[in-house]
A and B are shown apart, each in its own frame.
Chain A
Amino acid sequence: GAVVSQHPSRVICKSGTSVKIECRSLDFQATTMFWYRQFPKQSLMLMATSNEGSKATYEQGVEKDKFLINHASLTLSTLTVTSAHPEDSSFYICSARDWRTASTDTQYFGPGTRLTVL
């Protein structure tokens, strides 16, 4: 149980284009999903928290107009990187909080998406 998927696993795009990454909880309902960014050999940096049906909460320093997050259902959240540039190249990981273990703040992570902007 508690499986989270991400799609695509890898994407290469040209500078200036937009890229959408999907995060799905496959066997549970996720009232809260999180988006992280990870640079090589570094830890995870929380970008934003999204709650189903409401606006995402962005961490300080994260541009909300550049990283659009939508959490339209209890099993799906999307991250859109708008007008991507090479500095946006990174490993993006989502996680979801299972409502059944929400009181313990346990998060289950997706496999990540490698974004390369040329």
Chain B
Amino acid sequence: AQSVTQLGSHVSVSEGALVLLRCNYSSSVPPYLFWYVQYPNQGLQLLLKYTTGATLVKGINGFEAEFKKSETSFHLTKPSAHMSDAAEYFCAVSNDYKLSFGAGTTVTVRA
């Protein structure tokens, strides 16, 4: 079965610094991979997804992620953090049309 592992439950960055959130997946078939963001007491918002084609995927709010099959990774990055990026981020892999989520990474942004 497919699964994802998010490395680091909490990431703290300075405003303007690089944001890097790590996600590794396990899949026996070519995966569909997703990053979602959750703000407090809200549902999840899709940031970006990888299905097929270009391995560098650009999403909303300046985020992007690169699918690396050789490393089984799908890390999320943003060149310059903004205070509004403070939230919980979830990596997910589709598993027979269902989504399996990682444990989540909390991002805090320091002024």
Q: Is the CB of B101 within 8 A of A107?
A: no
Within 8 A of B (CB), among A1-46: 4, 6, 32, 34, 42-44, 46
Report whether B104 and A112 are in contact in the complex, using a CB–CB cutoff of 8 Å.
no
Q: How far is the CA of A108 from the CA of B43 in the complex (A)?
A: 9
Question: With a CB–CB cut-off of 8 A, which chain A residues contact B97?
Answer: 32, 97, 102, 105
Q: A43-B90, A114-B41 are in contact. Are A109 and B36 (CB under 8 A)?
A: yes
8 Å CB interface, B17-42 against A: 32, 34, 36, 41-42
Residue among B42, B45, B51, B101 making CB contact with A104, cutoff 8 Å: B51
Inside 8 A of A91's CB, which chain B residues have their CB? 41
B interface secondary structure, majority: strand
Who on chain A is nearest to B31 by CB? A105
B43 contacts A105, C-beta separation under 8 Å: no
For residue A105, which residues in chain B have a CB less than 8 angstroms away from its CB?
Answer: 32, 94, 97-99
Contact indicator B41/A43 (Cβ below 8 Å): no
Interface residues of chain B, those whose CB is within 8 Å of chain A, are 32, 34, 36, 41-46, 49, 51, 90, 94, 97-99, 101-104
